[in-house]
């Protein structure tokens, strides 16, 4: 059998797709796989902040169209970039074991978050990261940072920003983690729902593809990210709003521990909730209700996501 994978052209997207292909071929000797590189709108429009041009869904829509048309069998995504609602006919066929969940600060000048001077320029394309940075350091300035990982890293090392914030998983996957100045602790920077996890999307009715992908499924990762994404979905938010969530599962029990955060873009208003449960979807939605009860909808109403 042969599987064709849609992938974006960035080094990270290609790495992630190749990792999935290698893992599948190790699990299914003789399986043929090939890549089809697709440049998305998110890859083309680099001069505007993501929330202004439609959010992270711009990185997934063209790949999903290729899946629905039958031109490809699978698409590999960073799960944090994948909208919580799958288009009709598509499903997440597998979620492999999660990698690093934390965000990382990189500074060509050697700063960490605490030592950034007042007025320092911090680059990020994420409202979630920007808001949490401002909550910890309201005296710094946030500026939009676009481009692939290599481009963002170069801008930081050249001193165009005093520091930038990137997802640690992308840096470790590309072997660039030696440039990290500080791993941001989870009590300072809660990750995006699904951060550090990959999602392999396919057509929901292709049972042969689903059987092949099942070899890479990691049950504990699936449970954790399902709770995180249910929290995001319960808030009515997409993947560009300043919502953070992180869940952990125990090897000894079926309990999931979920922490969720809704924060205003300026970092001034913050609602943090936490709870445990065994049903991931139910836990995420119940925690979202708690956040709404505490006023999360007032924060989210302040944000216009196109």
What's the angle, vertex CA 263, arms to CA 260 and CA 267, rounded to 5?
140
Instruction: Compute the distance between CA of residue 279 and CA of residue 230 in angstroms, rounded to an integer.
Output: 11
CB contact at 8 A, 239 and 220? no
What residues are paired with 203 via a beta bridge?
90
Say which of 43, 81, 251, 266 is annotated catalytic: 81
Q: Catalytic annotation on 81?
A: yes
Q: What is the 3-state secondary structure (H, E, C) of the chain?
A: CEEEEEECCCHHHHHHHHHHHHHHHHHCCCCEEEEEECCCHHHHCCCCCHHHHCHHHHHCHHHHHHHHHCCCCEEEEEHHHCCCCCCCCEEEEECCCCCCCCEEEECCCCCCHHHCCCCCEEECCCHHHHHHHHHHCCCCEEECCCCCHHHHHHHHHCCCCCEEEEEHHHHHHCCCHHHCCEECCCCCCCCCCCCCCEEEEEECCCHHHHHHHHHHCCHHHHHHHHHHHHHHHHCCCCCCCCEEEEEEECCCCCCEEEEEEEECCCCCCEEEEEEEECCHHHHHHHHHHHHHHCCHHHHHHCCCCC
Catalytic residue positions, numbered: 81
């Amino acid at each position: 059998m042969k599987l064709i994978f849609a992938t974006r052209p960035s080094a990270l997207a290609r790495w992630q797709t190749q990792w999935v292909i290698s893992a599948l071929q190790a699990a299914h000797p003789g399986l043929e796989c090939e890549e089809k590189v697709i440049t998305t709108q998110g890859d083309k429009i680099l001069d505007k902040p993501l929330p202004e041009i439609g959010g992270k869904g711009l990185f997934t829509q063209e790949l999903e169209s290729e899946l629905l048309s039958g031109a490809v069998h699978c698409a590999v995504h960073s799960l944090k970039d994948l909208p919580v609602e799958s288009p009709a006919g598509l499903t997440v066929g597998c979620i492999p074991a999660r990698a690093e969940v934390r965000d990382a600060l990189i500074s060509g000048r050697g700063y960490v978050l605490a030592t950034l001077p007042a007025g320092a320029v911090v680059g990020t394309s994420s409202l979630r990261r920007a808001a949490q940075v401002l909550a910890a350091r309201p005296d710094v300035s946030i500026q939009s940072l676009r481009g692939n990982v290599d481009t963002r890293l170069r801008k930081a090392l050249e001193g165009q920003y005093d520091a930038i914030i990137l997802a640690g998983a992308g840096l470790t996957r590309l072997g660039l983690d030696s440039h990290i100045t500080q791993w941001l602790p989870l009590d300072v920077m809660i990750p995006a729902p699904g951060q550090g996890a990959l999602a392999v999307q396919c057509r929901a009715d292709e049972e042969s593809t689903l059987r092949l992908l099942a070899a890479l499924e990691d049950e504990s990762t699936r449970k954790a990210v399902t709770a995180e994404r249910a929290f995001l979905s319960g808030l009515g938010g997409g993947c560009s709003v300043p919502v953070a969530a992180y869940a952990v599962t125990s090897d000894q029990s079926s309990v999931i521990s979920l922490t969720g955060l809704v924060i205003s873009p300026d970092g001034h208003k913050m609602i943090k909730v936490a709870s445990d449960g065994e049903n991931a979807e139910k836990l995420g939605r119940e925690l979202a209700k708690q956040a709404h009860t505490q006023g999360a909808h007032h924060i989210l109403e302040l944000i216009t996501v196109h």
